[in-house]
Amino acid sequence: MGGLTVIDLGQAYQGPYAGFLMAKAGADVVRVEPLHGDSTRQRAKVRQGALLPYAMLNANKRGVTLNLKTDRGRALLIEMAKRADVLIENFAPGVMDRLGVGWETLQKENPRLVYASGTGFGLTGPDRDRLAMDVIVQAYSGVMSVTGFPGSRPVKAGIAVADFLGGTHLYAAILTALYERNRTGKGRMVEVAMQEAVYPALASSLGPDSRQRLGIDPHWQSPQRIVGRAVVRLRGRRWSRGHRLRQGRPLAPADLGDGATGTPVPIPDS
């Protein structure tokens, strides 16, 4: 991506991660923050080491501060957008438009601009204006319902899975738009909702529920409760294998519970 200029207005993880991927691929990424800095900077005041995610996600980027609530700040951003290839933002829907620097304004100044918007629930639809942090999307999408143990309450995934999946999809959307621009000469707006980005990952938990209806259930594939082991079950002409997390001793077939014989199981043709 050498030769591409990216304006990164991202906040927290979703937008900055998309910008981070572009920077790693060689693009010139300019990180734009408000005068008080991104919210992830403030976490350093809470506990030691909390600034590390900010440092990681903003590696290989140049930085500048702008006050987009002033005429001067907005004018500077527009001038930057005239010379940019991509602009990334993950403000709440409508914020950039209210500031006067949204897609409609910027694409008139630079028709080749790819404008990438990341949100929690999309720019349209009934949930458009719901504020969305990672934990909210995890709960709303069903991720928390498939995390934990049978019979337990929903549990938040330890990592910001919705933020980072949203950032990955936003990066892919940008690449798709840049490919299209190479053919048409025109930029476009792309948007990614974290909720929609998370849904494909839930496919790994699709299966019959307690009443044998198709649903999302994390435990249908492995009904036994395994504590303290990492178990890998492979199908095809491979062996089912498992390893204890601490002792390091390979598990015998009997350790794996019902149905694990330790013999190769061919995958059916259909």
| C-alpha–C-alpha distance, residues 163 and 86, integer Å | 20
| C-alpha–C-alpha distance, residues 194 and 4, integer Å | 26
| C-alpha–C-alpha distance, residues 56 and 176, integer Å | 25
Burial of 45 (0-12, 13-18, 19+ CB in 10 A): exposed
Token readout for 105 is 């304004």
Q: What are the distances in angstroms from CA 102 to CA 86, 203, 254?
A: 13, 35, 61
Out of 134, 163, 209, 269, pick the active-site residue: 163
Q: 13, 11, 22, 185: which is closest to 110 by C-alpha?
A: 185
Long-range Cβ contact pairs of 146-155 (< 8 A, separation 24 or more):
146/202, 146/205, 146/216, 146/217, 146/218, 147/218, 148/218, 149/225, 150/219, 150/225
Token readout for 74 is 């907005």
Annotated catalytic residue 163 = yes
Q: Which residues are catalytic?
A: 163
